[in-house]
A and B are shown apart, each in its own frame.
Chain A
Amino acid sequence: MKLKQLLKLILINITQNKMRTFLTTLGVIVGTATIFLVVAIGKGGEAQINEQYSKLNVGTIIVMAAPRGRVVDPLTKKDAQLFLASENITRAFPVLRGNGDINYDNYSTSGNYMAIQPEFQVSNNLIVEQGRELEEEDENKKNKCAVIGAELANTLTDGNPSEIVGHSISINSRKFEVVGIYKAVGDSGSGMSYDDSVFIPYSVGERFLLGTRANPTINVQATSIDTVQLAIEDITAILNETHRAGGAEQFRILDAGSRLVAAQESARSMSMLLLAVAIVVLIVSGIGIMNVMFVTVKERTREIGTLKAIGAKKREILGQFLIEAVVISLVGGVLGVIVGFVAVPLLKYFELPALPSISGILLGLVFSVITGVFFGFYPAWKAAEFNPIDALRYE
C-alpha cells in the first residue's frame, strides 16, 4: 500500500477516536511544551547573562573585602597604585560604594552612590547623555560635583531629567552640583544598577561622605583575558606584602570571566534539570501511548486478521500501527509547542526570561516523535506478528 493511502487509513482511525487520541496526547503535550520552554528559558537566560556581562570587560578583576570576614586593614587608594606595578595589569582604581538619602528640589529618595575615579567610566562603558563626565580635575580639586544615572535622574525630576543638570542635589545632606547624566546601561551584573546610582569623584567621597570608614573595592584591568590568572597571582602577592596584618585572605578577588562562566554554568545546569523533567514526562506519556496502542491492537485483532487475509504484509501492519502511534505523539508535540508559545508571555510576567526558538520547536517535536516510535513499536510489532487464523477467530 502506498504511504498516502496508509496515512489516510490511519487518519480515519485516529479521527474517529478523537477523545482517546486527545487523552493519549496529553502527556506528550506537557512533555513537548516543557522541552520547548526549557530551551526558551535556557536561551533567554543566556541572552540575559550575555547582555549583563557585555558591559563588563572579561579582563576585569575586582578586589574587595571578603564577605563576612573581618578586615583588619582595609584596601586603600595606594593599593591600586601598587597593583599597577604588575606587568599584567593595565588599570587599577578604587571604588567606594555607599547609600544614603538623595535630595533634589524637595524630592527625597534613598539611593546608591559611588565614588569613582574617571577611569571607572571607561572600563564600565559609562557615557554621558547630557552635560559632562567626571574628570581628572574634579578628582584633583575635590570638586563637589556628581553625574547621575538615567533612572535616578528620571526619578528625582519626575520624568524630566534634563532640568537637573547644573542644579544641585544633596547626598546625606551634603550638596553636590550635577554636571551630567549617564546613558542608561541596564543591569550591571554586579547586583547594583548604575542607572539608579549617583557618581561622585573618589577623593570627594573619601573625604566628605565616608571618611575613615572608607573600605573601597579596587577594580583592576588585566592586560588581556589570558593574563587574568597571572594578574590575580600578582595582586595576591602584593596584598600579602602590604597587608601583613591580615594578609590576602581577608580580601576576595573576583574576575569577570569566571563569574560569567559560573553564571552560564548555573543557567545550564538549570536547563539540564528541566530537560530531565521533560524527558521523564515524555517517558511516562510514552508508556501511556504504548498502553493505548495495546488496547487499540487488541480491539482491532479481527480487523488485523482481515487485513492479512486480503493481502496486507507484516511490514504494512507494522507500519500502520507504528505510524498511528507516531501521528498521535506528533499531534501531541504540535499542541505542546502551541502550549509552550502561550506559556512564554506568562513566564515573562513572572520575570523569567524566555526566548522561543526554532531549535526549541524542533527539539520538542523530535522528542515527541521519538516517544511515538519507541513506545509504538512493540504494540505494532505484536500486531504484525499476529497469526491470521487466530486473529480472524478473535471475538
Chain B
Amino acid sequence: MEHGAKIVIDTRQLVKIYQNGSEELKVLDDVNIKVSNSDFIAILGPSGSGKSTLMNILGCLDIPTSGQYYLDGLDVLKASDNELAEIRNKKIGFIFQKFNLLPKLTAVQNVMLPLLYRGVKEEEAWETAREKLSILGLEARLHHRPNELSGGQQQRVAIARAIVGTPQLLLADEPTGNLDSKSSGDAMEIFKELNRQGNTIVIITHDIEVAEQVRKIFYIRDGKIHENG
C-alpha cells in the first residue's frame, strides 16, 4: 500500500448493548477494526448481524457502550455534539442505500450542501460540486431534481456529495442495494476508481458478490468480527 502507514479507522473493544426492558442485547461484541489509508474494505453480514450499528458508530452517528474509536487519529468518543457534526462534515462521506438526496434541491445543490455546511463560499462550492458531477458523467444533469434522474444517476449524485469535501473516509451502506445489476456494476467500478485515486472506502453489505470485489473483507456475525471468514 502506497500510504500504508496512516491508520484511518482504529476501534478497540467496541461494545454496543441495547437495553430492551430488563433484557440486554449485545449488538456489537469486542469489535476491533483497523483500516489504513487508501484501504478498500467490505463489512459483510446478514441482517441483524450488527453491521448497521457498526456503520453508525464508524460514521459518528452513534456512540458505543464501551470501547474506543479513533478516526484519523482523533478520539471520537470525547467529541461534543458540535464537534461530531464537524467530524461528519469534514472527515466522512456517507453514501446511503436509498441515496437520501434532498428531493427539492437540484443535483448540484445537493452536492454543494456539505461544503456549505463547512462555510465554503457559494460560488466556490458550486464550482467544486459541478466538477465532481462532471467527473461522474452528470455534467448534463446539474439542474435536475432527484425524481428526474434514474437510480444509477441518483447514486452517482450521492457519491459526488460524499466525495465533494474530500473526506478521509467514504462510508457506503448497501450502495448497490437499490440498483439494477448494470448500475450496480457501474457503481462498483466508480468505487474502485475512487480507491485507486487514494480514497479510503468502507462498504457495508450483505451481498457476497459486492464484497468479493474489494481488497479486504470483514465478516460480522452476532456482533463479532472475523477477518476472512
- Residues in chain A within 8 A of chain B (CB atoms): 1-2, 4-5, 9, 12-13, 16, 302-303, 305-314, 316, 388-389, 392
Contact = CB atoms under 8 A, between A and B. Distances in A.
Contacts of B109: 12
B62 interface: yes
A367 B118 CA distance: 34
Nearest to A306: B100
Given A2-B122, A310-B114, A389-B61, 4 more contacts: A1-B119, A16-B104, A309-B61, A311-B117
Contacts of B117: 1, 307, 310-313, 316
Interface of B: 56, 59, 61-62, 81-82, 85-86, 88-90, 94, 96, 100, 102-105, 109, 113-114, 116-119, 122, 161
A311 B85 contact: yes
Report which residue of B81, B86, B100, B119 has the largest number of chain A beta carbons within 10 angstroms of its beta carbon: B100
Contact of B85 (A16, A303, A312, A389): A312
A309 B102 CA distance: 13
Contacts of A2: 116, 119, 122
A9 B125 CA distance: 14
Nearest to B161: A310
A303 B102 contact: yes
A388 to B, nearest CB: 5
A302 B100 contact: yes
A360 to B, nearest CB: 36
A231 to B, nearest CB: 74
Report which residue of A1, A13, A307, A309 has the largest number of chain B beta carbons within 10 angstroms of its beta carbon: A309
A310 B113 contact: yes
B76 to A, nearest CB: 14
A5 B81 contact: no
Contacts of A310: 88-89, 94, 113-114, 117, 161
Contacts of A13: 104
Contacts of A308: 61, 85, 88
Interface of chain A: mostly helix, strand, loop or mixed:
helix
A311 B118 contact: yes
A392 B85 CA distance: 15
Contact of A306 (B85, B89, B102): B102
A316 B94 CA distance: 19
A5 B125 CA distance: 11
B61 A388 contact: yes
A392 B96 contact: yes
Contact of A389 (B62, B81, B105, B122): B62
Contact of A311 (B89, B96, B102, B105): B89
B96 A12 contact: no
Contacts of A389: 56, 61-62
Contacts of A4: 122
A15 to B, nearest CB: 9
A301 to B, nearest CB: 11
A309 B116 contact: no
8 contacts: A2-B122, A9-B105, A310-B88, A311-B90, A388-B61, A389-B61, A392-B61, A392-B96
B158 to A, nearest CB: 10
Contacts of B104: 12-13, 16
A1 B125 CA distance: 12
Nearest to B62: A389
A262 B117 CA distance: 60
A118 B37 CA distance: 107
Contacts of A303: 100, 102-103
Contacts of A312: 85, 117
Given A4-B122, A392-B61, A309 B113 contact: no
Contacts of A5: 116, 122
Report, nearest first, the 8 A-B pairs whose CB atoms are least far apart.
A311-B89, A306-B100, A313-B85, A311-B117, A310-B114, A388-B61, A5-B116, A309-B94
Nearest to B97: A392
Nearest to B118: A311
Nearest to B56: A389
Report which residue of B82, B88, B122 has the largest number of chain A beta carbons within 10 angstroms of its beta carbon: B88
Contacts of B119: 1-2
Nearest to B164: A310
Contact of A309 (B59, B90, B103): B59
A111 to B, nearest CB: 72
A389 B102 CA distance: 17
Contacts of A388: 61
Contacts of B100: 302-303, 305-306, 309, 392
Nearest to A313: B85
Contacts of B122: 2, 4-5
A313 B116 CA distance: 12
Contacts of B90: 311
B229 to A, nearest CB: 29
Contacts of B161: 310
B106 to A, nearest CB: 9
A303 B102 CA distance: 6
Contacts of B56: 389
Report which residue of A4, A306, A307, A314 has the largest number of chain B beta carbons within 10 angstroms of its beta carbon: A306
Contacts of A314: 81-82, 85
B62 A311 contact: no
A295 to B, nearest CB: 16
Nearest to A12: B104
Contacts of B61: 308-309, 388-389, 392
A311 B104 CA distance: 19
Contacts of A1: 116-117, 119
Contacts of A302: 100
Report which residue of B61, B82, B85, B86 has the largest number of chain A beta carbons within 10 angstroms of its beta carbon: B85
